[in-house]
Structure 1
Amino acid sequence: MYEHILVPTDGSETAEYAVDQAIDIASKYGSTVHALYVIDVDATSYSLGTEQVDRIRQGHLDEMPEVRAEADEATGYVADIASEHGLTVEEHVTAGEPARAIRKFVEDNDIDLIVMGSHGRSGLSRVILGSVTEKVLRRTRLPVLVVDAHEKDA
């Protein structure tokens, strides 16, 4: 049923809760888990110069060790948890507007299910859903499992 499960991650606590759910589902179906970290070029443009943002958009992440380290840590967390369960994991890092990048990844790959946190690291918490999650829900026809950080505490 679910051969390929996408877990968009920003390394936040909520994203980690989504990883737990994705791993549980992938274990049941023997799915491949795809961990995707999207470098939000709009957000980074405030802290980096336009030349650096252009280099990120062109895929030159190795020239930005701090950005690459954050991405590797987030996708590495997913890979570590999945490997503990004997699952196949593919780590992906891309740049762009997060909801669009997630949608493009889904279109370009054979994804059957998206599992993501209700909100991530944005400075402002949304009352119901984060803006990226909301956009993904509105713009995809795939099933999307939205995991709330408070769900684990219950």
Structure 2
Amino acid sequence: MYDNILVPTDGSETSRAAVDQAVDLAAKYDATVHALFVFDVDATNLALGTEQVERIRRGKLDEMPEVKAEADDATGYVAEVAAEHGVSVEEHVTAGEPARAIRKFVEDNDIDLVVMGSHGRSGLSRVVLGSVAEKVLRRTRLPVLVVDAHGEDES
């Protein structure tokens, strides 16, 4: 049913919440997990500048050790969890607007399922801040499992 499962990650607790789900499904279906780190171009441009963003897009991370370390930490966590469960993993890094970059990765890599974390915001905070998970869910033509980073409702 699933051969390639994508888990987008930025290394946050929110994205890590999805890793266990992705790895569990990959183990059940003997699938490969693809860990994708997307440097948010808008946020990164403010912090790094256009020239550095272009280096990221061209895969020149070795020239930027601090940036490479951030990506390696995020995708490396996925690889560690997958290895503990005997699941094959591939690590990927790109730059762009996160939802768009995720959708492009899905299209270009024969992905069967996307598993991603969500902050679970609602109302005005979701509208103002946007939601990568929601954008991917609405604009992707394959199953997307959205994992609530907060777990069970504490009310």
When normalised by structure 2's length, the TM-score is 0.89
Q: Which amino acid aligns with 1:62?
A: D
Unaligned runs of 5+ in 2: none
Matched, 1:142 2:145: no
> 2:119·2:150 contact (CA, 8 Å) conserved in 1?
no
**Secondary structure class of the residue paired with 1:146:** strand
Match of 2:29 in 1: 29
Could you list the structure 1 runs, at least 4 aligned residues long, displaced by more than 4 angstroms after superposition: none
* 1:25 CA drift (Å): 0.9
Q: In percent, how many aligned pairs have the same letter?
A: 80
Unaligned runs of 5+ in 1: none
- Tell me: CA distance 1:29–1:38, structure 2 relative to 1, closer, same or farther (3 Å): same
> 2:103·2:136 contact (CA, 8 Å) conserved in 1?
yes
- Which structure 2 residues correspond to residues 46-125 of structure 1 after superposition, within 5 A? 46-119=46-119
Counterparts of 1:38 and 1:80, CA distance in 2: 19
**Secondary structure class of the residue paired with 2:6:** strand
**Secondary structure class of the residue paired with 1:150:** coil
Q: Which amino acid aligns with 1:87?
A: V
1:33-53 CA-to-partner distances (Å, cap 9, x unmatched) read 000000111111111122222
Query: Greater shift after overlay, 45-54 or 99-108?
Result: 45-54
- Tell me: CA distance 1:84–1:62, structure 2 relative to 1, closer, same or farther (3 Å): same
* 1:153 CA drift (Å): 7.7
When normalised by structure 1's length, the TM-score is 0.89
**Secondary structure class of the residue paired with 1:114:** strand
Matched residues, number = 149
CA RMSD of aligned residues (A): 1.9
Counterparts of 2:153 and 2:20, CA distance in 1: 13
* 1:9 CA drift (Å): 0.4
